[in-house]
Amino acid sequence: SKALHLVARVDSFALFPGEPTALWCYAGEVDGRTLANPVLRAVHGETIDVTLDNRLQEATTIHWHGLSLDEASDGSGLHPVAVGTGARYRFRIRNRAGLYWYHAHPHSRTGMQVQHGLAGVLLVDDEEELALRESLGLRWGERDIPLMIADKQIDQNNAIAYKLDADDWIGNRVLVNWTPEPYLDVVPGWYRFRMANVANARMFRPAFIYDGQPLPMQLIGTDGGLLAQSWPIDDFFLGPAQRVDILLDFSALVPGARVTLCSLEYVAMENDNDDTVTFQPDPMADHPGAEPMGNRLDMMELRVVPPVQPIQKTHVPQQLARLDPTPDTTGWPVRHFRLRTDQDGRWFINDWNFHINGHESVFAVKRGTREVWEIRNYMTSMPHPIHLHGFQFRVVSRSISPPDIRARMVTAEGLGPQDLGVADTVVIWPGEIVRIAIDFAQPFTGTQRYMFHCHNLEHEDKGMMVMFAVT
Ligand code: C2O
Ligand code: CU
Ligand code: CU
């Protein structure tokens, strides 16, 4: 088993010229060095043993986003770690290889704590992944690179600003791996990027722009690991908490070339299937100076440099991984969820607005059963990245999708390439009806309670969350 001690505390970093920036972080010693929010690595089947020491001024947790764990290890708001105390998360990794992440999840303060920095990534490997990496010839940390993307609102004193109770906290600066205006020297060969959107509320539309045009990419994986086969894409939407695994070939570029990783402009908030006026968030009210949602943003610069040694050949196999096709859910019981808002701007799932003190589970699911969850968004809404704890799922169908999403369809069920993998977070666009298939098999006993919520953290904190019990 792998032991790690993490201290939740506030540290200062020189992120911008001038004043240092205070980041709330999980500080831990990895390979003899103390790191803030270290990139963690584990192998499928391995046991992780993390102790958390809370030296913040308020309760926190570590939630292992995407991992299939028991309730206590899941680290949701049901198990806050009080100031000056600790917790132990000891669990076996049962998930497929992929990029997962960890973040604070104390109820009603998740948005604030994550915005201030309490988040990191966890890479899980398995045999299939190691075989693929061998054939790609792309080494982790060299040409296989994690990119944690978040926007922050940075004030005149270089401090991260946050206001509890605000809506859709979007920022004025984009950080990639905690770095403003990052750049990466790349050689003319293949690269693999594992992107995670760890922003509170912003949806990104990433594309690698060269000479005004998007470079073609291969989508090879999503939240829960590899797809069966790669899909060519030019850009994609990455909602809060979602991850993608992509391959990109710079071989045709000459040293000196510049590529920019951008978030392209989008208007996909609008759904033309209905006459209703689509809800447009007015972020500027709460966030003077913030870059409006859907604006084009530059996130990272890639500078092509001459290789110092011969570039190893990359072979992208026809079959990337064993992955069951999307299940045929005929006859499965269907549970219905409606995403909605009210006059006061509170967000609901059905008629539920979550309160931690209620503590009763909203509904129960029988362990070992399979269910379809049908999630429906109103036309007059905004996209909601909906996340399930405890279980990964498959997207089964999308209907009434807005034009930008319809244009990405590759199956008769309305799915795009990003819907063909294993997921823990799915974006439900305005007007859409999305069905997901969940297999509630798990090796735990007794009652295990989990959350199902919007990963726009301001929506989550204001109650766009339900708790369910697996019994
Ligand atoms: Cu990434 Cu309930 O969280
Ligand atoms: Cu989660
Ligand atoms: Cu939401």
Cα 7 to middle of ligand 3, angstroms = 30
Give the residue whose CA is nearest to atom 1 of ligand 1: 65
More confident residue, 111 or 356: 111
* pLDDT bucket at 272, cuts 50 / 70 / 90: low
10 Å Cβ neighbour count for 125?
18
The correct CATH number of 334-470 out of 1.10.286.10, 2.60.40.420, 1.10.10.1100, 2.60.40.1110 is: 2.60.40.420
What is the arithmetic mean of pLDDT over 379-392?
92
- Tell me: pLDDT of 361 over 80: no
- Tell me: pLDDT of 360 over 80: no
Mean predicted lDDT score pLDDT of the chain: 93
Ligand 1 atom at minimal distance to the Cα of residue 65: 1
Instruction: Please compute, for residue 379, the number of CA atoms within 13 A of its CA located in the half-sphere on the CB side.
Output: 10
- Tell me: pLDDT of 306 over 90: yes
- Domain coordinates of the chain in residue numbers? 2-125, 136-304, 334-470
Phi/psi of residue 63, each to 5°?
Answer: -100, 135
Rounded Cα gap, residues 426 and 96, in angstroms: 18
pLDDT of residue 286: 58
* pLDDT bucket at 187, cuts 50 / 70 / 90: very high
Beta-strand pair 433-439/370-377: antiparallel
Q: Name the token pair of 249.
A: 């070939």
Conformational region of residue 404, where left means phi above 0, alpha means psi within -120 to 50, and beta covers everything else: alpha
List the alpha helices (DSSP H) in 38-109.
Answer: 71-74
- Tell me: pLDDT of 453 over 70: yes
pLDDT of residue 155: 94
* pLDDT bucket at 379, cuts 50 / 70 / 90: confident
Rounded Cα gap, residues 471 and 457, in angstroms: 28
Q: Name the token pair of 182.
A: 């990052």
CATH number of 2-125: 2.60.40.420
pLDDT of residue 274: 56
3-state secondary structure of 142: coil
Q: Could you read off the pLDDT of 199-252 as tens digits, one per residue?
A: 999 999 999 999 999 999 999 999 999 999 999 999 999 999 999 999 999 999
Of 142, 135, 145, 44, give the one whose Cα is nearest residue 97: 44
- For ligand 1, whether the C-beta of 107 sits within 6 Å is no
pLDDT of residue 269: 57
- For ligand 1, whether the C-beta of 459 sits within 6 Å is no
Cα 455 to middle of ligand 3, angstroms = 7
- Tell me: pLDDT of 277 over 50: no
- For ligand 1, whether the C-beta of 241 sits within 6 Å is yes
What is the arithmetic mean of pLDDT over 5-12?
98
CB 387 within 8 A of CB 105: no
pLDDT of residue 284: 52
| Distance (Å) of CA 451 to CA 76, 102, 142, 407, 467 | 8, 15, 36, 32, 5
Rounded Cα gap, residues 381 and 278, in angstroms: 6
Rounded Cα gap, residues 48 and 91, in angstroms: 5
- For ligand 1, whether the C-beta of 243 sits within 6 Å is no
What ligand is nearest to the CA atom of residue 340?
A: 3
Cα 424 to middle of ligand 2, angstroms = 8
- For ligand 1, whether the C-beta of 376 sits within 6 Å is no
Of 248, 245, 254, give the one whose Cα is nearest residue 223: 245
CB 338 within 8 A of CB 405: no
The residues pairing with 232 across neighbouring beta strands, listed in sequence order, are: 218
What ligand is nearest to the CA atom of residue 451?
A: 1
CB 91 within 8 A of CB 46: no
Cα 456 to middle of ligand 1, angstroms = 10
- For ligand 1, whether the C-beta of 454 sits within 6 Å is no
Radius of gyration, alpha carbons of the chain: 21
What is the arithmetic mean of pLDDT over 369-389?
93
3-state helix, strand, coil in the chain (%, to 5): 10, 40, 50
CB 130 within 8 A of CB 154: no
What ligand is nearest to the CA atom of residue 118?
A: 1
Ligand 1 atom at minimal distance to the Cα of residue 460: 2
Fold of domain 136-304: Immunoglobulin-like (2.60.40)
Share of the chain above pLDDT 90, in %: 84
The interface pTM score, or ipTM, of the predicted complex is: 0.99
- Tell me: pLDDT of 281 over 80: no
- For ligand 1, whether the C-beta of 387 sits within 6 Å is yes
Cα 466 to middle of ligand 1, angstroms = 12
pLDDT of residue 266: 86
Cα 392 to middle of ligand 2, angstroms = 10
* pLDDT bucket at 271, cuts 50 / 70 / 90: low
Of 245, 238, 288, give the one whose Cα is nearest residue 268: 238
Cα 237 to middle of ligand 3, angstroms = 15
Rounded Cα gap, residues 89 and 74, in angstroms: 8
Min mean pLDDT across 63-77, 310-324, 355-369, 409-423 is at 355-369
Cα 224 to middle of ligand 1, angstroms = 14
- Tell me: pLDDT of 279 over 80: no
Min mean pLDDT across 253-257, 269-273, 316-320, 322-326 is at 269-273
- For ligand 1, whether the C-beta of 109 sits within 6 Å is no
Give the residue whose CA is nearest to atom 3 of ligand 1: 65
* pLDDT bucket at 153, cuts 50 / 70 / 90: very high
